[in-house]
A and B are shown apart, each in its own frame.
Chain A
Amino acid sequence: MSGPADLIFFVLALLTVGSAILVAILPNIVYSAVALLFSFAGVAGLYVFLSADFLAATQVLVYVGGILILIMFAVFLSNRISDVKISNPTRFNWQAAFLCLVLFGVLSYTAVSTPFPVKPGIVYLPSTAEIGELLMTRYLLPFEVASVLLLASLIGAALLSRPEGQKGKAADMEEPK
């Protein structure tokens, strides 16, 4: 495959990695959240190139529509936005940057130099039906465990974010005086 597809892939990769770098270095946390949005969108585009159509839609729905909104909520609820120094004191950290660059070099060298047994010929097939079928047959136990986990985290999040002293109030309401 060549031509426009390669160009689109290059643009998506640039969007993903560039936005991720912006998330890491931008001083204002609101800008970081917006850059994270573009990074997630770029990853969704990369999934399309990997014939993972269901996963691309899920990425947009859950990450861009859910997690990013949650993060934005947390940013707006927990920070004095205008005060960058308080909300996100950032200075360029040479040790961390050096460590990350070295790690990136090692990982990239490993990825490029290792001869992975890539199967020839790339097929693009719709994956949604197969994922649904496998979730209901072979991966049924992880599926159910994930649903229990979601329920537990839902209850836990509701319990944690409830203001202090609410428990006594609810107990008072049960017995009228």
Chain B
Amino acid sequence: MGLDKLLVIGAALFCCGLYTIMTRRNAVAILMGVELILNSANINFVAFSHYVSRVIGGQIFAVFVIVLAAAEAAVALAIFLRLYATTGTVEVDTADELKG
């Protein structure tokens, strides 16, 4: 345990999420990558608030990040279902029409 180990874990999660976003074409998989990145940011917030500042504000920031992630996931999945109903696929590179 220690701050540096947690930061390395956060960096690993961030890079996994980034790789997921860069390589996947399925929109749901890209959303999974975004969630991984948000989790890595949360780990950093909580780790710094635990080891460095000793103030609980970092945890409150993480709570707000979780709230935003939930709202974002709900809206994004509604958009994906709409996209699937319209185009029959959720691959992001086929969704290149603004008005079809």
Write the residues of chain A forming the contact surface with B, with a CB cutoff of 8 angstroms.
1, 5-6, 9, 13, 16-17, 20-21, 23-25, 29, 32-33, 36, 39-40, 43, 46-47, 49-52, 54-55, 58-59, 62-63, 66-67, 70-71, 73-75, 77-79, 86-90, 93, 96-97, 99-101, 103-104, 107-108, 111-112, 116-119, 122-123, 127, 130-131, 134-135, 139, 142, 146, 149-150, 153-154, 156-158, 160-161, 163-164
Question: Which of B17, B72, B74, B80 neighbours the largest number of chain A CB atoms within 10 Å of its CB?
Answer: B74
Produce 1/0 per residue, B59-82, CB < 8 A to A.
Answer: 110111011111111110111111
Among B36, B85, B89, the one with the most A-chain Cβ atoms within 10 Å of its Cβ is B36
The contact of B78 among A21, A122, A160, by CB within 8 Å, is A160
Q: Are B56 and A131 in contact (CB under 8 A)?
A: yes
Residue of B nearest to A93 (CB): B23
**B16 closest partner in A (C-beta):** A20
Contact between chains at B56 and A100 (CB < 8 Å): no
Q: How far does the alpha carbon of A154 sit from the alpha carbon of B78 in the complex, in Å?
A: 10
Of chain A, the residue at the smallest CB distance from B85 is A163
Given contacts A20-B12, A100-B18, A160-B78, is CB(A119)–CB(B66) below 8 Å? no
Known: A23-B32, A154-B74. A161 touches B82 (CB 8 A): yes
How many residue pairs, one in A and one in B, have C-beta atoms under 8 Å apart? 225
Residues of A within 8 A of B5 (CB): 9, 13
The chain B residues found within 8 Å of chain A, CB to CB, are 1, 3-9, 11-20, 22-26, 28-29, 31-33, 35-36, 39, 42-43, 46-52, 54, 56-57, 59-60, 62-64, 66-75, 77-82, 84-85, 89-90
